[in-house]
Amino acid sequence: MIRKALICIGLLAFSAAGVKAEVKSGFGISSWAGWKPGDISRAECPELRSVPLILKWDDLEPTPGKYLFEEKIGKPLEAADADGLFVTLMIWVGPDAPEWIYSKGVPVVTTDRDVNALGQKTNKQSKYPTYLHPEYKKAFFGLIDAFGSYINTLPPALRERVVMVQCAEGSTGDGQPWKGKPIDKEQDISDEDWNDFRLEAWAHYQKAMPGMPILVNADANGGEESQWLIDNMQVIALKQGMFSHGYLVSDNDNRLAKHAAIESEANKRGKRVLMRGEMDAELFEMGWSKRNIPQALYWSGLFASHGRLDIWNVPTKALKDKANWPALVFFNKYAGQRNASTAPAAFCALRDGLDASNFDRFPASKFGGKPENKKDAERYLKIAQDYAAYGARMDDPQKATGGGMINRKATGPNDVGWGTVPGNYSRFLTQIDPGSGDVGRWNIDETIYGRFGRAFEHQSGKKQMRFQLDPAFESKTAKVTVTYLDKGTGVWSLGVPGKDGTRIENSNSGEWKTKTVILPEVSEIVLNYELGEDTVFHLIEVEKT
């Protein structure tokens, strides 16, 4: 009954407002975590497009009904506007509820949390309010109403700087009520009751800010929550955390499939989808990433683009390092491009994904294991060993057998995962029958490109790679650029099916190079082995001219 009532509330909010929600500019690279004027500027990072203003309830409303919106929101918005930056907004309420909430009779919930998301000891974020208490809901919804009233009455130039508002209904911006578990088990909340509360919060945000995209955390959503968003929101705005924490995350293939279904339904209804995700301090803490931060960030950016993120939050420290800028440039190029007919470019970053959950490619008779047993590290090791001659390795197999938050704690590269993306990272450009005319390569070198690749292997008859553009990606002429490793003196060609392509002779410089050709009315692209040594390829990009 609660959910049906909320659907009606959401529909009435849009009907009464008479305003169609529109997605504003500001797609691309954003800083993280939290921002204050002076933290970073476009002069320090030219690829910066937006900044996240993370507000805390106890700072915004230190006493009941007394809000500091102008100080905490208005002035930072003016500073962002002056630097040509857009802003995303979020109010943390769970661990940052004001003390006066508890004096109104709202019980305190204390959790057993003693480590943070990076596995470090902490005593922070273990105190929360009882969300379903009537006095808490009254104060929380009052905060949303006041917040919405302030945003709605901002000068148009400042309001247009706000890309979206994230509804943080529980533990920071996550989809759960708290981090850890309540010490008093009687205080725990059932999934059904918690999701009812989340839907109530979403509807309240939507009603308070007509026309503003209200972003919610997708990681915690089931079918009912996703359907509510499709039925009620004009912009389906989602946080997809596992599309932004690195590039080899368990079960991401299923997550991508679920999101594709949501986006397909949204498109049928003429609704826009907006997604954000964040790379956090893991970049500097975890073995797999800190060993080569520019390479880790680059491939994470490729996967974030493959996952169709519109906004990617990256730590400020990483944004200021010029060695990381290629990752930012690439992400910005494709951010917000969801329609092949209007997109200016397409890409395919070449890699072979070794997915231990694929028992057709890696049968149990050879590699062991069972489909219901994700934790069999020996299976992962046997698969990697089969491709060791091509560079595959498993530095920390036990971490590969866990979920996403465990995967990222790996001490080094793991090239076999469970439910990880089995092939290339791409947008509007797809390889036809990958592996039929090429072999995968891993850990090629320490450059940003060298983490993965695909190569010819002429001795085994693998001498051609073919790529298909999205049929809606129409251009009378197209600029096709191939990034390849100029190693050896092999010869290869780039062209279209049925015609002689442009021949390229490698000069054995040992460097990654690019070759660009202009092709007329291209729908398919072919890379052919011609003679000599085999060539390793990283990326194919197609740009409309």
Indicate whether 382 and 499 sit together in one domain: no
Indicate whether 153 and 262 sit together in one domain: yes
Give residue-wise pLDDT tens across range 229-238: 999 999 999 9
Question: Is residue 13's pLDDT more than 70?
Answer: no
Where among 338, 373, 395 does a domain terminate?
338
Question: Is residue 490's pLDDT more than 60?
Answer: yes
Give residue-wise pLDDT tens across range 357-383: 999 999 999 999 999 999 999 999 999
Determine the pLDDT at residue 19: 33
Q: What is the pTM of this model?
A: 0.93
Q: Where are any strands of DSSP class E within 72-157?
A: 86-92, 108-110, 127-129
Indicate whether 485 and 524 sit together in one domain: yes
435 falls within a domain: yes
Indicate whether 476 and 371 sit together in one domain: no
173: which DSSP letter?
A: T
434 falls within a domain: yes
Indicate whether 390 and 443 sit together in one domain: no
Indicate whether 193 and 126 sit together in one domain: yes
Q: What is the mean pLDDT of residues 398-422?
A: 95
Where among 400, 417, 434 does a domain terminate?
417
Q: What is the mean pLDDT of residues 208-235?
A: 95
Work out the pLDDT band at 428, boundaries 50, 70, 90: very high
Q: What is the mean pLDDT of residues 296-325?
A: 98
Contact, 413 vs 444, CB < 8 A? no
Determine the pLDDT at residue 219: 86
Indicate whether 40 and 105 sit together in one domain: yes
203 falls within a domain: yes
Domain of 446, CATH number, reads 2.60.120.260
Q: What is the mean pLDDT of residues 286-307?
A: 98
Give residue-wise pLDDT tens across range 440-477: 999 999 999 999 999 999 999 999 999 999 999 988 89
140 falls within a domain: yes
Residue (of 235, 221, 166, 214) closest to 191 by Cα position: 221
Distances (CA, A) of 241 to 238, 319, 422, 439: 9, 19, 20, 31
Give residue-wise pLDDT tens across range 171-192: 988 999 998 899 999 999 999 9
348 falls within a domain: no
Give residue-wise pLDDT tens across range 522-532: 999 999 999 99
| CA count, 13 A, side-chain hemisphere, 213 | 26
Residue (of 419, 253, 262, 280) closest to 338 by Cα position: 262
Question: Is residue 513's pLDDT more than 50?
Answer: yes
Question: Is residue 5's pLDDT more than 70?
Answer: no
Indicate whether 287 and 390 sit together in one domain: no
Indicate whether 214 and 332 sit together in one domain: yes
Contact, 382 vs 264, CB < 8 A? no
Indicate whether 188 and 270 sit together in one domain: yes
Question: Is residue 228's pLDDT more than 70?
Answer: yes
Give residue-wise pLDDT tens across range 54-101: 999 999 999 999 999 999 999 999 999 999 999 999 999 989 999 999
Question: Is residue 21's pLDDT more than 70?
Answer: no
Contact, 245 vs 299, CB < 8 A? no
Q: What is the mean pLDDT of residues 16-30?
A: 61
- Give the chain's domain count: 3
Where among 417, 438, 460 does a domain terminate?
417
53 falls within a domain: yes
Determine the pLDDT at residue 220: 86
Integer Cα distance of 453 and 386 in angstroms: 17
DSSP string, 330-365: HHHHHTT---TTT-SEEEEE----EETT-TTTS-HH
369 falls within a domain: yes
First-to-final CA distance of the chain? 54
Contact, 515 vs 494, CB < 8 A? yes
**9 vs 104: which has the higher pLDDT:** 104
Domain of 36, CATH number, reads 3.20.20.80
Mean pLDDT of the chain: 93
Domain residues for the domain of 540 are 425-544
168 falls within a domain: yes
Work out the pLDDT band at 48, boundaries 50, 70, 90: very high
Indicate whether 315 and 400 sit together in one domain: no
Question: Is residue 347's pLDDT more than 70?
Answer: yes
Percentages of the chain per state (helix, strand, coil), in multiples of 5: 35, 25, 40
Work out the pLDDT band at 346, boundaries 50, 70, 90: very high
Give residue-wise pLDDT tens across range 113-139: 666 666 666 666 789 999 999 999 999
Indicate whether 166 and 301 sit together in one domain: yes
